[in-house]
């Protein structure tokens, strides 16, 4: 196996592996559907899904496998190239995020043949589940402040490093139980950009997700933005763009 950094490897050389456990688990998935890990961190498989996620083992360790679907409506050669391109982009963005100091699951392997990524299994609930519990039982301010700070801090690191997550929702954030550390997952829509516009949209996606799913958690977005401001070096330009994105969003809502 090459010792070169993931970013420098060609698409055909990105950590190809042969994992018997994956093949075995895929047979189970085909028969029964995905195996849950905190709701599998994903919706149930459907015709519009980009990938399926299921549990497996890797080197004797519990793991999560993400397999990207082929698109039947595309020419097979084109589909294979596009799927591999997206697979490698996800792996590279996730790897870059870790180098920027963002906590993500450890990426064990990328298989360009079966179009799979194999990750560390993170023990702990999703932030979505924690916030929903806050809504039912009342907000625990100290824990809420800690979570909000970590969310803002990691997004700031991500954006300053030129990575846009693309799907910042509480379903894509886990709480590692043994260290009380927030872990960011699912870089399937991530891309590289330094534009304030893209950063503003990234934050707006999170804001809309919080408003729609966790309105009972109060001013959590304000706390996230406060932490983001301390973490990023490009606060003013990003915050201005966020305001513009919000305005466009309100106009679309009014128009219907």
Of residues 39, 79, 146, 167, which has the active-site annotation?
A: 167
Based on the residue annotation, tell me whether 167 is a catalytic residue of this protein.
yes
Could you give phi then psi for residue 58, rounded to 5 degrees?
-140, 115
Measure the CA–CA gap between 157 and 103, rounded to whole angstroms.
11
> Three-state DSSP class for 229?
helix
Measuring CA to CA, which residue among 62, 210, 233, 71 is closest to residue 157? Answer: 233
User: Contact, 68 vs 148, CB < 8 A?
Assistant: no
Alpha helices in 33-190 (DSSP H): 76-99, 127-137, 141-160
For residue 57, report the phi and psi dihedrals to the nearest 5 degrees. -130, 150
Annotated catalytic residues are 167
């Amino acid at each position: 196996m090459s010792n070169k950094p993931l970013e420098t490897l060609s698409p055909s050389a990105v950590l190809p592996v042969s994992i018997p456990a994956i093949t075995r688990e895929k047979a189970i998935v085909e028969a029964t559907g995905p195996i849950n890990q905190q709701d599998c961190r994903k919706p149930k498989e459907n015709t519009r899904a980009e990938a399926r996620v299921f549990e497996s083992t890797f080197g004797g360790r519990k793991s999560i496998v993400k397999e990207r679907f082929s698109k039947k409506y595309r020419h097979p050669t084109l589909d294979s190239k596009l799927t591999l391109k997206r697979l490698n982009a996800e792996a590279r963005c996730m790897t870059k995020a870790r180098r920027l100091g963002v906590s993500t699951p450890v990426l064990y392997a990328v298989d360009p043949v079966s179009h799979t990524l194999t990750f560390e299994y993170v023990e702990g609930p999703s932030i979505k589940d924690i916030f929903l519990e806050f809504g039912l039982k009342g907000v625990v301010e100290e824990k809420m402040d800690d979570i909000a700070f970590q969310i803002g801090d990691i997004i700031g690191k991500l954006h300053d490093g030129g990575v846009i997550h693309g799907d910042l929702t509480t379903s894509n954030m886990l709480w590692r139980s043994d260290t009380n550390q927030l872990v960011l997952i699912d870089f399937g829509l991530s891309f590289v950009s330094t534009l304030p516009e893209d950063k503003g949209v990234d934050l707006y996606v999170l804001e809309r997700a919080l408003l729609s799913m966790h309105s009972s958690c109060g001013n959590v977005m304000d706390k996230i933005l406060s932490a983001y401001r301390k973490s990023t070096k490009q606060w003013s330009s990003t915050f201005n763009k966020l305001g513009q994105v919000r305005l466009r969003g309100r106009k679309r809502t009014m128009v219907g």
